[in-house]
Structure 1
Amino acid sequence: LPLTPLIHRLLDGRDEAPADFVTVEVLEVAPGVAADDVRTALAHLVEMQEPLRYRFLHNGLGWRAQCAATEHAELLDTTVLPPLGPEDELALLQADKDKLIDKLDLARGPLLQAKFYSRGLHRPGVLLLVVHHFAYDEISTVPLLEDLNGALADIAATGAPRRETRPPAWRAWAGQLNAMAQSDQLAGELTYWTSVLRAGQEGNAIPEAESPTAEPAPEPGVIERRVPADAFAAPLTVSGPASREAALAAVACAWARWRGQPYAYLSTVGHGSPNSYRPSDRSRSLGWFTNLFPALLPVAPGARVPDALPGIVDALRAVPHDGVGYGILRTLSPRTAAVAELRELAEPVVCVEHKVGGIDAIKVGDGAVRIRQAPLHTRQRTLMEVNPIVVFTAVVDDVLEIKLVHNGRFDADGMAVFADHLAEAFAELSGVEAVPPGVRQEGQG
């Protein structure tokens, strides 16, 4: 199987795939659903969704991916959950999550592990699910719930799930990106991306006082800030590109103030809207359809976020095809002199990702399985090999949560100051009712 640009980036230079780069879901299972039925539904899910059977293998020629015909590993552990308070239950789930991660094996499988906690006939059970990120992104939560609920409904009605498969959308998308890398389709984007990276180099320098220490930190540093509902903008709560634009404007202003620069050089993730570089429909397929791209965002000295927002929106909407082409040029295209120049330029230090709503905001019908809010922490070291500072923002229960994660090598006081700037910048968006229209360029996704 071909690899996508982002998976290439994370595997390059490694002998082993990062097993701890995972997504964790905590699901609530309706009373009366037996553990054996959950086990059957999970096996059916892995049979239907081929990314859960992918294997990532390394030899002297590099990395490759294969799809196993079947999954032979045991996917589910079961236990009876004793009566616990919320904090003790969360601590138990956190400890068990780490044990499940240790069972993942990207070379031999599985890429999914789960534990089912029975709480008696009349109380909902809990299903803790760990899935490797290479096979699963945030949007994958919806088809996951649909498939699990469909299988459990079939088991309740007939004793077995209906045999069906899902379209291999991720395989097709990865193949499309690799084919584009061998064509002339991206020649027109090469100058654009090179100019963005070249212009951001000076702003990407780390001052000597904040340079990484000689030895790697044992754990990433995490700093959190919260902004109440009455102090941030309405666009941040609406799913779609407008919320990402508002979040990036706030982070750009915070970064520019902290660095004393008239712009911010940041990376961000594509918002996933279909375009000619993306699958037209991946709604029923699991997979990691994410792309990263750099952006150079203008911030006038002393500008408040609402004042900087129109120019930042214009810059983001001028990005061709939601940035998918950048990863292809960076990792997949044949190495010409122009491509080599692009690859030698440093990427942004900081990456920004914004999402609307917590995991409990996703509901799929009235099925037996639902998302349950449970803030389990996962290690972020793998992602920080590309961007050593990552800013995660999310609107959860009418509160904007800001999580600044760094690789542990930066000055803690400096990171705290940046986090304070972030909270102040997001609060400046209070009262902004809509993101300005901006300029949409041809080819923009």
Structure 2
Amino acid sequence: TPIVGWLRELGGPVDGFHQAMLLQAPADATFEGLQAAVQALLDHHDMLRARLVRGEGVWSLEVPAPGAVRASDVLRVAAGEDVAGEARAARERLAPDAGVMVQVVWFEQARRLLVMAHHLVVDGVSWRVLLPDLAQAYAGGELEPVGTSFRRWAEQLTALDRSAELPLWTQQLTGDDPRLGVRALDPAVDTADTVRHLSLTLPSQVTGALLTEVAAKYRATVNDVLLTGFALAVSRWREGAGTEVLVDLEGHGREAVVEGADVSRTVGWFTSMFPVRLDAGTGSDLGRSLKAVKEQLHALPDNGIGYGLLRHTGTHPEAAAALAALPAPQIGFNYLGRF
């Protein structure tokens, strides 16, 4: 898929690339009950049993039959209550080439359950399927069927011809993009070890109107609103370097482009990533800025899924080479939604 191709091209180690959830279990939860529930999850959702196959110039995922991955091999009882330490150890146990895509840790005293999965097999939407299914399986209920398998979706997605979109994506990547720092990013230096984090919590008086009233008034999405504010903030911070802002935008990727597909309950890494050149103007008229950004985003076919097909799947080699020769965005943006 496009996003797996993107990961392959990044280079470097990927074994610990994961997502995780820390859950509060019922007061009467037992290890045996959890093990049965985890086994049901592994058997029901194919991608949790996947194994990474690194071919020449392409990565693929092979999925064995249900029962091939045992809950007893991925579920363990924590030695103590050090969640951070156990999470690091669980990450070290992930081994996608060996088919170890999932780790589950039971903190018996705190009644908490750490569920970790390699990012190759889950995304943000997948957790909205997995967590209710885990609770349903623990209660002894039958899990709802999965619609379209990830394999079928991937095969049909990569068969799509999006070559006509090459001029559009070339235009997005062509133009000024002033350097953010004192030097360009260096993949050899700017690794996960050097990442720094900044987390901010905003009051509901600010976020409430932003996420509801503004979007409704302009018939826009929350993404439209947030990206307008973001584009204005970056252009002001650059102080006179122009109003255009080039961003790598992430989406859920579950677009209705595969005929007859139903991936609403399919677990897997569907994420799309594509460049978009935003121009919100000076911000002197915020309504006009929002309308401009909204139009720029909505002009991208199928929420940008065609870019990854051209750039990262190997199905359009000439287009991939042309896009790879253009400067990549320095900024990434991902709105995960409201949970």
Q: TM-score range by the shorter chain?
A: 0.7 to 0.9
Report the counterpart of residue 115 of structure 2 in structure 1: 129
Tell me the distance in 2 between the aligned counterparts of 1:211 and 1:163.
49
**Deviation at 1:250?**
1.2
Deviations 1:164-217 (A, max 9, x none): 86345321221112211xxxx313212111111123xx21x4267344578446
**Contiguous gaps of at least 5 residues in structure 2:** none
Q: Is the alpha carbon distance of 1:280 and 1:246 closer, same or farther for their aligned partners in structure 2, counting shifts above 3 Å?
A: farther
Instruction: Report deviation, 1:126.
Output: 0.7
SS at match of 2:83: helix
Cα distance change of structure 1 residues 306 and 162 upon mapping to structure 2, 3 Å threshold: closer
Is the CA contact (8 Å cut-off) linking 1:277 and 1:321 kept in structure 2? no
The whole-number CA distance in structure 2 between the counterparts of 1:278 and 1:256 is 40
Equivalent residue number for residue 77 of structure 2:
78
Which of residues 158, 170, 173 is equivalent to 2:153? 173
Report the counterpart of residue 258 of structure 1 in structure 2. Answer: 237
* Cα deviation code 1:86-113 (max 9, x no counterpart): xxx6xx2122111111010001121010
Query: For 1:33, what is the secondary structure of its paired residue?
Result: coil
Q: Secondary structure at the match of 2:86?
A: helix
Please, which of 292, 295, 310 is the counterpart of residue 314 of structure 1? 295
TM-superposed deviation, 1:269: 1.4
Residues 1:334 and 2:331 aligned together:
no
Percent identity (aligned): 25
Distance 1:80 1:247, change over 3 A: same
Give the SS at the match of 1:127: strand
Q: How many residues align?
A: 327
Q: Could you tell me which amino acid in structure 2 is paired with residue 258 of structure 1?
A: W
Could you tell me how far apart the structure 2 residues matched to 1:277 and 1:95 are? 42
Between stretches 105-114 and 6-15, larger displacement belongs to: 6-15
1:11 lines up with 2:1 in the alignment: no
CA spacing shift, 1:311–1:152, aligned 2, 3 Å: same
TM-score under structure 2 length normalisation: 0.86
Matched, 1:351 2:307: no
Unmatched runs of 5 consecutive residues or more in structure 1: 82-88, 155-160, 362-445
Question: 2: distance between equivalents of 1:23 and 1:75?
Answer: 15
- RMSD over aligned CA atoms reads 2.9
CA distance in 2, matches of 1:308, 1:236: 17
**4+ aligned runs moved over 3 Å, structure 1:** 13-16, 59-62, 161-168, 210-218, 237-241, 271-274, 277-280, 301-307
> Structure 2 residue aligned with 1:231, among 178, 199, 206?
206
1:101 to 82, 91, 97: 91
- Give the TM-score normalised by structure 1: 0.67
Q: Find the aligned partners of 2:155 and 2:324 in 1 and give their Cα distance.
A: 22
Determine if contact 2:24/2:113 at 8 Å carries over to the other structure.
yes
Provide the secondary structure at the position in 2 that maps to 1:9: helix
1:117 counterpart = 2:81:
no
Find the counterpart in structure 1 of residue 196 from structure 2.
221
Structure 1 residues 10-40: Cα deviation after superposition (integer angstroms, max 9, x where no partner): 1126475x12211110111112121111011
Task: Report the CA distance shift for 1:270/1:150 in structure 2 as closer, same or farther (over 3 A).
Answer: same
Deviations 1:312-356 (A, max 9, x none): 0110111111101110011223323x5532231122110101133
Contact 1:253 1:305 in 2 (8 A): no
Once the two structures are TM-superposed, the CA of residue 71 in structure 1 deviates from its matched residue by 1.0
